[in-house]
Structure 1
Amino acid sequence: MSSGSARGPTRRQYITTTGTLIGAGTLAGCTSTGPESEEDGNTGDGDDGGPHTATMSPVGTVEFDEVPESAFVAFPQYADAAVALGHGDAVNTLFTPDLAGTTMNAYYERLPGVSFDYEGLTDPLAEGLSRERLLELDSDVHFIDPAYVVSTDGWERSDVEDVAEQVGPWFGNYYSGTHATPPSAYRDGYEYYDLWGVVERVAAVFDETHRYEALASVHADLLSTIESGLPPAEERPTVARVSFMNDTFYALKADAPGYWQADTRPLGAEDVFAGGEWNLWGTLDYEAMLEVDPDVILNLWGTAPSYYVEDTRQTVANDPAGSKLSAIDNDRFYASGLRYQGPIMNLFQLEMTAKQLYPDQFGEWPGFPEGGPYPEFPESERLFDRQRLADVVAGEV
């Protein structure tokens, strides 16, 4: 792709730039993991890198003359999707690169030939999203929701539209993560997708429909394996998904809608926070957590630097009330992954959570070694085929 600052309609065009997708109606959303039809706005001519379109709410439909070579990325699900689709080298920024990049590579270590070079990437949100930085990067596509952008300081919808016209289109959907309400400027017709619906649309940007279909088949097989092995509902453990910091448990609902829970909701455990009145995060002290006393505690970010689960578990165990928690007493306080998960991260985090919740059905979880890669298992104990996934990433499909 050309890299100059003067860019015309031969490079990319907006077909629809309103807040409403072609054919989009309600907030019910799309949960399909199958290939998109031309009516859905994701089209190409055989994954050949030529002219193609991609559609995502709230952006609309965007036309690309060729595959983007540089991609602005905020949250890591888009970086992970780019890697999975064979375009990891296009990523030029990343939110919390040390935390996200370390976690991503901990998973990739188990995929022959797959890695992500995050060294030198800057965090585009560290000091607020900067228009000047976007102009400097001159990216072919911006994988961030424009509705999220206008929720940050200094941004109006007119600024978003200017950047799209002067630099490159926006392409992201943030509020599907929790099904939260987007800002009013983009609320009309905003659609929610599941995680794999987001990945499918990112695949359309890179003109990688076939590779997406191969990725989705790995995911479908993994879900089938999990669903066929789940014990009856009455035999499943109670679970709490939290982020523990400064003697406070910040609680998420493990079975809530949205792709933040794409690695917990399919496991069907009994969520102790299911009846919680909060919309996003609830906060509990030690005594409140002891009142709900889940069998299993999944600690978010526990695979990442500064949040390694063993340090957190020890802090909780050293508290008089925390030491009485069943999850501490029975050694079932586990590392959970990142909620901003892309397709590869989701596959590993589903496998990890299945083993943590149901060791009798799916094999014991050995723990996530501090600073190390995702644990290795004998092939018979793996819930999905590593080599098959690596082949998909390599384009050997």
Structure 2
Amino acid sequence: METTRQFDRSRRAFVATGIAAGSGALAGCLGGDSGSESGRDSYTVSMAPMGEIPFDAVPENAFVSFTQYADMAVALGHGDAVRTLFAPEMSGTTMNGFYERLEGVSFDWEGLKNPLEGGVTKEQLYSAESDVHFLDPSYVLTTQPEWDESDIEEIADTVGPWVGSYHSGVHSDPAETYADSYEYYTLWELFENVAAVFRERDRYEALAEVYDETRSQIESALPPERERPTVARVTLDADNGVFYAYHLNTPGFWQAETRPLGARDALADVAWSGDWGEISYETMLEADPDVILHLWGITSRYAIGDIRARLAADAAGSELTAVRNDRVFASGMRYQGPLMNLFQLEMTAKQLYPEQFGEWPGSEPGEPYPAIPTDERLFDRRRVATIVTDGVE
């Protein structure tokens, strides 16, 4: 996609050397039109708000912010390029919880540092010497007050390019610098751009085909809208008696596992100005959803049994229909890449529509994604694992 902004780059090579085609599953076999020779050729990736992003070779050292980019790297066979990660223990164990069901796929997160802890600094980026920064420069400008546009350009020109689209999460407003050049991407469009960075078009297309088939299968089996449950997607802050709330069906890749399911958003009429809202028990009781999806519930940070107990112990919470009917479920991460999205889409479909897609067996903190019987799976694990580990011929 073209944008009105392009950076003039006269700098060192963005990355050191190309990746050999046979460097292993996570190191990445170059698929399709990439090949071992083209991996050493210069190329460009076009993406808003960065514009035309030149590369001299496929990145081997990636500064990764949010989990979706790590999941994308793994999906493309380049998981070992990831050198940093948001909340590494939570993110890494959650990713591997899903990958447990994909033979031969895993992610080595131990030892990775959280690049956002304490803020992003130029010194940090110079020290890391990353070939690519999977972080939206607009996010940096809107969250790091000491940064300005010249700093963004300096890092891109002298260290490595930026690749990211944070505001596509909920279609929030970008930094003023990018107001005229910003574009919003779906999860799978963002994945397509990351695939272009790693020159893994064939892997992207193969996984996108799995996703399209899975989504079509789900959408064709959904009950009529009037028969669908009302759903609240929230995270309980039990200590303060509030819920952090998210919508189900609004644009943005944070809703990538709920929007295709077309459930009725119990909080559709509740507005907030930020990326998420903060609501009370009283507001929840007024909405009284049939189902509560507890975002982040499948991660190691929460135990869904404790969440249910806390809700049941509260005077208002105990009156919620979802609590009384035992329909409070551990939901996934909003920072989801393509592999996570396939599992989270399957998981949520079962939680909302057990009659159509089979009962959700539940999950436990620290345990892998549950073993779903073969005839109740909504996508082919072996097919996905083969794409990731072996590439596409």
Q: In structure 2, what is the Cα distance between the partners aligned to 1:367 and 1:161?
A: 47
Which of 236, 246, 256 is the equivalent residue of 1:252? 246
- Matched residue, 1:293: 288
Is it true that 1:179 corresponds to 2:155 in the alignment? no
Is it true that 1:83 corresponds to 2:74 in the alignment? yes
Is it true that 1:239 corresponds to 2:231 in the alignment? yes
Which of 167, 192, 195 is the equivalent residue of 2:159? 167
Gap runs ≥5 in structure 1:
1-6, 14-43
Q: CA RMSD in A?
A: 1.6
Which of 29, 33, 47 is the equivalent residue of 1:46? 33
Per-residue Cα deviation, 1:127-184 (whole angstroms, up to 9, x for no partner): 1112111111100000000011112131111111111111100111110101001010
- Matched residue, 1:348: 343
- Matched residue, 1:157: 149
Q: Letter of the aligned partner of 1:154 in structure 2? A: E
Tell me, what secondary structure is at the counterpart of 1:327?
Answer: helix
- Matched residue, 1:30: none
Contact in 1 for aligned 2:298/2:331 (Cα 8 Å): yes
1:270 shift after superposition: 0.4
1:198 shift after superposition: 0.2
- Matched residue, 2:134: 143
1:343 shift after superposition: 0.4
Contact in 1 for aligned 2:304/2:330 (Cα 8 Å): yes
Contact in 2 for aligned 1:229/1:361 (Cα 8 Å): yes
Which of 294, 298, 320 is the equivalent residue of 1:303? 298
Q: In structure 1, what is the Cα distance between the partners aligned to 2:271 and 2:148?
A: 32
1:347-366 paired onto structure 2 within 5 Å: 347-366=342-361
Q: In structure 2, what is the Cα distance between the partners aligned to 1:169 and 1:284?
A: 39
1:395 shift after superposition: 3.0
Q: Letter of the aligned partner of 1:265 in structure 2? A: R
1:277 shift after superposition: 2.1
1:285 shift after superposition: 1.7
1:8 shift after superposition: 6.4
Tell me, what secondary structure is at the counterpart of 1:150?
Answer: helix
Contact in 1 for aligned 2:32/2:201 (Cα 8 Å): no
Tell me, what secondary structure is at the counterpart of 1:205?
Answer: helix
Which of 174, 180, 183 is the equivalent residue of 1:191? 183
Q: Letter of the aligned partner of 1:239 in structure 2? A: V
Per-residue Cα deviation, 1:330-388 (whole angstroms, up to 9, x for no partner): 11100111101100011000000000000000000011112100000111000000000
1:278 shift after superposition: 1.5
Is it true that 1:319 corresponds to 2:314 in the alignment? yes
Is it true that 1:275 corresponds to 2:275 in the alignment? no
Which of 316, 328, 344 is the equivalent residue of 1:333? 328
Identical-pair percentage: 58
Is it true that 1:379 corresponds to 2:374 in the alignment? yes
Gap runs ≥5 in structure 2:
1-8, 16-30
1:291 shift after superposition: 1.1
Q: In structure 1, what is the Cα distance between the partners aligned to 2:84 and 2:199?
A: 21
Which of 124, 127, 130 is the equivalent residue of 1:133? 124
Is it true that 1:205 corresponds to 2:207 in the alignment? no
Tell me, what secondary structure is at the counterpart of 1:274?
Answer: coil
Contact in 2 for aligned 1:211/1:395 (Cα 8 Å): no
Q: In structure 2, what is the Cα distance between the partners aligned to 1:52 and 1:229?
A: 43
- Matched residue, 2:215: 223
Q: In structure 1, what is the Cα distance between the partners aligned to 2:266 and 2:366?
A: 30
TM-score of the two chains, using structure 2 as the length reference: 0.89
Q: In structure 1, what is the Cα distance between the partners aligned to 2:328 and 2:121?
A: 39
Q: In structure 2, what is the Cα distance between the partners aligned to 1:371 and 1:345?
A: 16
Q: In structure 2, what is the Cα distance between the partners aligned to 1:392 and 1:223?
A: 18
Q: In structure 2, what is the Cα distance between the partners aligned to 1:196 and 1:153?
A: 31
Contact in 2 for aligned 1:51/1:65 (Cα 8 Å): yes
Per-residue Cα deviation, 1:83-129 (whole angstroms, up to 9, x for no partner): 00000000000011111111111100100000001100000111111
Q: In structure 2, what is the Cα distance between the partners aligned to 1:363 and 1:383?
A: 10
Q: In structure 1, what is the Cα distance between the partners aligned to 2:216 and 2:187?
A: 17
1:89-108 paired onto structure 2 within 5 Å: 89-108=80-99
Tell me, what secondary structure is at the counterpart of 1:394?
Answer: helix
What is the total number of aligned residue pairs between the two structures?
Answer: 361
Q: In structure 1, what is the Cα distance between the partners aligned to 2:347 and 2:123?
A: 41
Tell me, what secondary structure is at the counterpart of 1:251?
Answer: strand
1:12 shift after superposition: 4.2
Q: In structure 2, what is the Cα distance between the partners aligned to 1:220 and 1:367?
A: 26
Q: In structure 2, what is the Cα distance between the partners aligned to 1:169 and 1:111?
A: 32
Per the alignment, do residues 122 and 217 of structure 1 end up closer, same or farther by CA in structure 2, a change over 3 Å counting? same
Q: In structure 2, what is the Cα distance between the partners aligned to 1:173 and 1:113?
A: 30
1:49-68 paired onto structure 2 within 5 Å: 49=39, 50-68=41-59
TM-score of the two chains, using structure 1 as the length reference: 0.88
1:9 shift after superposition: 5.1
